[in-house]
Amino acid sequence: MGLQDALGFTFQPPNIAQRGMQRVGSSTAGAWVFQRTLYRIDRPLHRWSDGRLTVPGVLTGLPVIMLTTTGAKSGLERTMPVAGIPYASDLVVLGTNYAQVPTPGWVFNLLAHPQATVAWKSSTCRVVARRVPPEEMEAVWLASEAVYSGFPKYRDRLAESRSVTAFVLEPAE
Protein backbone atom coordinates (compact mmCIF):
# COMPACT_ATOMS: atom_id res chain seq x y z
CA MET A 1 0.00 0.00 0.00
CA GLY A 2 1.37 3.40 -0.98
CA LEU A 3 1.20 6.71 0.83
CA GLN A 4 -1.83 7.91 -1.14
CA ASP A 5 -3.87 4.93 0.08
CA ALA A 6 -2.52 5.23 3.63
CA LEU A 7 -3.68 8.86 3.80
CA GLY A 8 -6.87 8.53 1.78
CA PHE A 9 -5.28 11.09 -0.55
CA THR A 10 -7.29 12.28 -3.54
CA PHE A 11 -6.60 14.99 -6.07
CA GLN A 12 -9.21 16.94 -8.01
CA PRO A 13 -7.93 18.89 -11.03
CA PRO A 14 -8.24 22.67 -10.57
CA ASN A 15 -11.30 24.49 -11.87
CA ILE A 16 -11.08 27.46 -14.24
CA ALA A 17 -10.76 30.06 -11.45
CA GLN A 18 -8.05 28.00 -9.73
CA ARG A 19 -6.14 27.66 -13.02
CA GLY A 20 -6.24 31.46 -13.29
CA MET A 21 -4.81 31.79 -9.78
CA GLN A 22 -2.11 29.27 -10.72
CA ARG A 23 -1.02 31.66 -13.48
CA VAL A 24 -0.86 34.51 -10.96
CA GLY A 25 1.02 32.38 -8.42
CA SER A 26 3.55 31.20 -10.97
CA SER A 27 4.48 34.73 -12.07
CA THR A 28 7.63 36.15 -10.54
CA ALA A 29 5.70 38.72 -8.48
CA GLY A 30 2.96 36.29 -7.47
CA ALA A 31 5.45 33.64 -6.36
CA TRP A 32 7.36 36.24 -4.34
CA VAL A 33 4.20 37.33 -2.51
CA PHE A 34 2.91 33.78 -1.97
CA GLN A 35 6.28 32.58 -0.65
CA ARG A 36 6.26 35.28 2.01
CA THR A 37 2.64 35.04 3.08
CA LEU A 38 0.89 31.72 2.50
CA TYR A 39 2.69 29.47 4.96
CA ARG A 40 1.99 31.96 7.76
CA ILE A 41 -1.73 31.61 7.06
CA ASP A 42 -1.78 27.93 6.13
CA ARG A 43 -0.78 26.39 9.44
CA PRO A 44 -3.45 28.18 11.52
CA LEU A 45 -6.08 27.70 8.79
CA HIS A 46 -5.21 24.01 8.57
CA ARG A 47 -5.60 23.63 12.35
CA TRP A 48 -8.79 25.71 12.49
CA SER A 49 -10.43 23.67 9.70
CA ASP A 50 -9.38 20.29 11.16
CA GLY A 51 -7.03 19.73 8.23
CA ARG A 52 -9.56 20.39 5.49
CA LEU A 53 -8.37 23.77 4.17
CA THR A 54 -5.22 25.54 3.03
CA VAL A 55 -5.00 28.82 1.13
CA PRO A 56 -3.29 27.30 -1.95
CA GLY A 57 -5.79 24.44 -1.88
CA VAL A 58 -8.73 26.84 -2.03
CA LEU A 59 -7.19 29.41 -4.40
CA THR A 60 -5.24 27.17 -6.80
CA GLY A 61 -6.47 23.63 -6.25
CA LEU A 62 -3.04 22.49 -5.05
CA PRO A 63 -3.11 19.41 -2.81
CA VAL A 64 -1.24 20.77 0.22
CA ILE A 65 0.10 18.36 2.82
CA MET A 66 1.63 19.23 6.16
CA LEU A 67 5.16 17.85 6.23
CA THR A 68 6.77 17.52 9.65
CA THR A 69 10.53 17.04 9.54
CA THR A 70 13.29 16.98 12.12
CA GLY A 71 15.53 20.05 11.98
CA ALA A 72 18.92 19.29 10.44
CA LYS A 73 20.73 21.43 13.01
CA SER A 74 18.26 21.89 15.86
CA GLY A 75 16.77 18.41 16.01
CA LEU A 76 13.38 20.06 16.64
CA GLU A 77 10.21 19.17 14.76
CA ARG A 78 9.35 21.58 11.94
CA THR A 79 6.02 21.54 10.10
CA MET A 80 5.58 23.19 6.70
CA PRO A 81 2.74 23.17 4.20
CA VAL A 82 4.01 21.78 0.88
CA ALA A 83 2.39 20.57 -2.32
CA GLY A 84 1.96 16.80 -2.31
CA ILE A 85 2.24 15.57 -5.89
CA PRO A 86 0.71 12.16 -6.72
CA TYR A 87 3.52 9.95 -7.99
CA ALA A 88 2.80 6.27 -8.60
CA SER A 89 1.15 5.19 -5.33
CA ASP A 90 3.11 7.66 -3.19
CA LEU A 91 3.59 11.43 -3.04
CA VAL A 92 6.50 13.56 -4.16
CA VAL A 93 7.54 16.96 -2.82
CA LEU A 94 9.72 19.42 -4.73
CA GLY A 95 12.01 21.96 -3.08
CA THR A 96 11.09 24.80 -5.43
CA ASN A 97 10.42 27.41 -2.72
CA TYR A 98 8.09 29.27 -5.10
CA ALA A 99 11.03 29.59 -7.55
CA GLN A 100 12.98 31.68 -5.05
CA VAL A 101 16.74 31.13 -4.98
CA PRO A 102 17.14 29.80 -1.42
CA THR A 103 16.54 26.08 -1.04
CA PRO A 104 13.75 25.56 1.51
CA GLY A 105 14.89 24.44 4.95
CA TRP A 106 12.76 21.30 4.91
CA VAL A 107 14.97 19.96 2.08
CA PHE A 108 18.03 20.07 4.35
CA ASN A 109 15.97 18.55 7.14
CA LEU A 110 14.98 15.57 4.97
CA LEU A 111 18.53 15.13 3.73
CA ALA A 112 19.73 14.91 7.35
CA HIS A 113 16.72 12.99 8.72
CA PRO A 114 14.64 11.21 6.04
CA GLN A 115 12.03 10.06 8.56
CA ALA A 116 9.08 12.47 8.66
CA THR A 117 5.34 12.71 9.15
CA VAL A 118 2.73 13.72 6.59
CA ALA A 119 -0.74 15.00 7.43
CA TRP A 120 -3.52 15.14 4.84
CA LYS A 121 -6.91 16.31 6.03
CA SER A 122 -7.56 14.21 9.15
CA SER A 123 -5.02 11.45 8.36
CA THR A 124 -1.40 11.24 9.46
CA CYS A 125 1.29 8.83 8.33
CA ARG A 126 4.95 8.29 9.21
CA VAL A 127 7.05 8.37 6.04
CA VAL A 128 10.55 7.88 4.76
CA ALA A 129 11.76 10.41 2.19
CA ARG A 130 13.71 8.99 -0.74
CA ARG A 131 15.71 11.58 -2.65
CA VAL A 132 14.84 11.50 -6.33
CA PRO A 133 17.94 10.73 -8.44
CA PRO A 134 18.67 12.91 -11.50
CA GLU A 135 17.57 10.20 -13.94
CA GLU A 136 14.08 10.15 -12.34
CA MET A 137 13.57 13.93 -12.16
CA GLU A 138 11.99 14.25 -15.60
CA ALA A 139 9.18 11.87 -14.58
CA VAL A 140 8.73 13.89 -11.37
CA TRP A 141 8.51 17.16 -13.33
CA LEU A 142 5.87 15.64 -15.62
CA ALA A 143 3.82 14.46 -12.65
CA SER A 144 4.12 17.87 -11.01
CA GLU A 145 3.01 19.76 -14.12
CA ALA A 146 -0.23 17.75 -14.14
CA VAL A 147 -0.99 19.20 -10.68
CA TYR A 148 0.34 22.76 -10.91
CA SER A 149 0.83 24.61 -14.18
CA GLY A 150 3.40 26.90 -12.53
CA PHE A 151 6.05 24.23 -12.00
CA PRO A 152 7.54 24.59 -15.54
CA LYS A 153 8.00 28.33 -14.91
CA TYR A 154 9.60 27.60 -11.54
CA ARG A 155 11.90 25.09 -13.20
CA ASP A 156 12.97 27.59 -15.87
CA ARG A 157 13.59 30.41 -13.37
CA LEU A 158 15.66 28.18 -11.10
CA ALA A 159 17.71 26.58 -13.90
CA GLU A 160 20.37 29.29 -13.73
CA SER A 161 20.73 29.43 -9.94
CA ARG A 162 20.26 25.95 -8.44
CA SER A 163 18.91 22.48 -8.99
CA VAL A 164 15.62 21.44 -7.44
CA THR A 165 15.73 18.61 -4.93
CA ALA A 166 12.72 16.30 -4.84
CA PHE A 167 11.74 13.48 -2.50
CA VAL A 168 9.35 10.58 -2.89
CA LEU A 169 7.50 10.13 0.39
CA GLU A 170 6.81 6.47 1.13
CA PRO A 171 5.03 4.99 4.16
CA ALA A 172 7.48 3.94 6.88
CA GLU A 173 7.48 0.22 7.65
Which residue ranges form the domains of the chain, and what is each CATH number?
3-171 (2.30.110.10)
What count of other Cβ atoms lies within 10 Å of the Cβ of residue 145?
14
What does the alpha-carbon distance between residue 87 and residue 109 come to, in Å, rounded to a whole number? 21
What letter would DSSP give residue 101?
Answer: S
Split at pLDDT 50, 70, 90, the class of 92 is very high
- Mean pLDDT over 65-85 rounds to 96
Strands (E), 88-146: 90-94, 115-120, 123-131
Residues 34-51, mean pLDDT to the nearest whole number:
81
Across 28-67, b (16+ Cβ under 10 Å) vs e yields eebbeebbeebbeebeebbeeeebeebbbbebbbbbbbbb
Look over the chain and give the mean of its residue pLDDT values, rounded to a whole number.
91
- Which is more confidently placed, 1 or 130? 130
pLDDT over 90 at 119, yes or no = yes
For 25-42, what is each residue's pLDDT tens digit?
A: 878 888 788 878 877 887
pLDDT digits (tens, 9 = 90+) for 128-158: 999 999 999 999 999 999 999 888 888 888 8
Q: How many Å from the N-terminal Cα to the C-terminal Cα in the chain?
A: 11
Nearest alpha carbon to residue 102 among 36, 44, 41, 168: 36
* Residues above pLDDT 70, as percent of the chain: 100
Angle formed by the axes of helices 137-145 and 151-158, nearest 10°: 140
The alpha-helical segments, DSSP class H, found in 27-123 are: 28-48, 55-60, 105-112
16-26 and 151-158 helices, crossing angle to 10°: 10
